[in-house]
Structure 1
Amino acid sequence: MFEGANSYCSNVKYRFGSFWYNFRWDDYVTLFEGPLSKAFAIVPIFAYLIIFNDALLDQFGFSELIGAEDSSYFLEDGSRLRFAYFGLIFLGLGQLLFIWRRPFVLKQAKSQSEYIAFVQSVFTPRDFIEVYGRIESHGHTTLYGNDELRQWESFKQQITDHTIVNYSYKAAIEKFSGLVRCLAIDHYVTYVKTRKTWLLVSLIMVLAGYALLSIPSIDLFFRVVESVFS
């Protein structure tokens, strides 16, 4: 019995460790920046409907669709608006927290491929030196670049030595594209794996918001089904 419990706990610990290691901000950009998450701006409208105009709650009763006066299945009168209101509150707060605490690399690009393009077009020699310095001091975050980084000294000379004949920063970026790519990927992944607790809190809030918004729809669905088959 205890061996089974220990095995189960070890399995859970392993799975959570694997999840937490791979938990990164860019995997949830679509969830946080979707159209419904941006509906936070209409929260005041729902608040005014709930507080100052109870008569409008009847418009959310769907009596004509149901064919009966009582259009609720398990919700009380007016609860649909309240669930929508608090659902949007949670969505909005989760989105604001995501925007506030997200790593700076996500402000520059929303995905790894976009960040590589950003680095190729925007990075300066100083930026590359800082990225390489972090890798040299703290090691790789990813497996990229073990071979490419051997070209660093040649690349550094090409982008910093203006006395080179036919000096061209753009040509150096193209010539050492593999090195540039691995530097960009390692830098990007390093930062999208930081501040994981903030990401988890944001994710919980947004999922709670979606859950609250789904409750009125589920209630209406069951009421429609009941009216059809009754």
Structure 2
Amino acid sequence: MKFCSDWKYTQWQSVERVANNDLTRVVILVPIVGYLILFNDQIAEIASFQMIAGVEPGAVSPFFVSGLTKMKFVFLGSLFLLLSNLIFRVFRPQVLELAKGDIEFSARVSERYTVHELAKIESQVFSELWKPRLSLFWLVQDKIRAKKAVVSGYKPEVRSKMFADRGDYISFLVREWWTGEMHTFRAARFASLFLGVTGVILLAIPTLDISQAVVRNVFLSLW
């Protein structure tokens, strides 16, 4: 049996850290930044950042990037993060809202999932289209697990007995399913991750440029 798994940092749980964080939630400023850049000819003077770096009028600029270029980096970076977030929201697996890891999801299953939902998960994992992800589920004493349905018992007392007798099986089963969900829509995952990382880099460039200029000014003033 061949186990198919993408690099951890390209799966949905990792993409979320880039595409759906506090930074991406402020991209509503994109239209405002775009307006300032495109329609206000005086923005370059306002955003020169000379004062914040303590530069005297007529002195050589300590910045590597001009003020207007910094604003363009902010605009493009915010736009990229917005697109990354939109792709993430459209294609992300819904189960990611319930649990951020397979072990956490396994713990929640016994609390929230019905037998009908577990049976549906089991049928998906045992289908011909399913790609095996976790060896801890599929290998039992170095033998491949038979695709035989185990989930049953719709009455509360029967359900409880099933969890008591088949607890490890159910835990490994739902962890296998959760991991499979983190591999869905591969192209969307890579697009969201690429746009998110690029957006962060574009936003970091103006910050680093301003930081180095301020630090240089502080050291020069001390000496």
Normalised by the size of structure 2, how large is the TM-score?
A: 0.75
In the aligned structure 2, how far is the partner of 1:92 from the partner of 1:72? 31
CA distance in 1, matches of 2:44, 2:103: 47
Alpha-carbon distance in 2 for matches of 1:19, 1:62: 47
Shift of 1:179: 1.9
- Residue equivalent to 1:49: 36
Residue among 119, 124, 132 paired with 1:129: 119
SS at 2:135 equivalent = coil
Query: Distance between the aligned counterparts of 2:6 and 2:169, measured in 1?
Result: 29
SS in 2 for 1:208: helix
Cα 1:100–1:72, aligned 2, differ >3 Å: closer, same or farther? farther
Aligned letter for 2:114?
A: T
Given the alignment, which residue of 153, 156, 178 partners 2:151? 156
Aligned partners of 1:29 and 1:110 also within 8 Å: no
Contact 1:116 1:185 in 2 (8 A): yes
- The 10-residue stretch of structure 1 (204-213 or 48-57) with the greater mean CA deviation from structure 2: 48-57
In 2, the alpha carbon distance for the partners of 1:19 and 1:179 equals: 21
SS of residue paired to 1:61: coil
2:192 counterpart of 1:202: yes
Q: CA deviation at 1:182?
A: 0.8
How many residue pairs get aligned? The number is 206
CA distance in 2, matches of 1:72, 1:37: 30
Query: Within 2, Cα distance between the matches of 1:117 and 1:45?
Result: 44
1:30 counterpart residue number: 17
- Structure 2 residue matching 1:34: 3-state secondary structure: coil
Identity %: 22
Of 218-227 and 92-101, deviating more is 218-227
Whole-angstrom CA distance in 2 between matches of 1:220 and 1:21: 35
Structure 2 residue aligned with 1:176: 166
CA distance in 1, matches of 2:93, 2:21: 19
**Runs of 5+ unmatched residues, structure 1:** 1-17
Which consecutive unaligned segments of at least 5 residues does structure 2 have? Answer: none
Partner of 1:76: 66
- Which deviates more, 212-221 or 69-78? 69-78
**CA distance, structure 2, for counterparts of residue 135 and residue 86 of structure 1:** 41
Query: How well do the aligned residues superpose, as a CA RMSD in angstroms?
Result: 3.1
Moved more, 209-218 or 138-147: 138-147
Distance in 1 between the 2:23 and 2:213 partners?
25
- Partners of 2:5 and 2:133 within 8 A in 1: no
Contact 1:61 1:72 in 2 (8 A): no
Determine helix, strand or coil for the equivalent of 1:63.
coil
Higher mean alpha-carbon deviation, 54-63 vs 172-181, is at: 54-63
1:86 equivalenced with 2:76 (yes/no): yes
Equivalent residues of 1:83, 1:213 under 8 A apart: yes
Q: Is the 8 A contact 2:27 2:79 kept in 1?
A: yes
* Bigger proportion of residues as helix: 1
CA distance in structure 1 between the aligned counterparts of 2:44 and 2:160, rounded to whole angstroms:
62
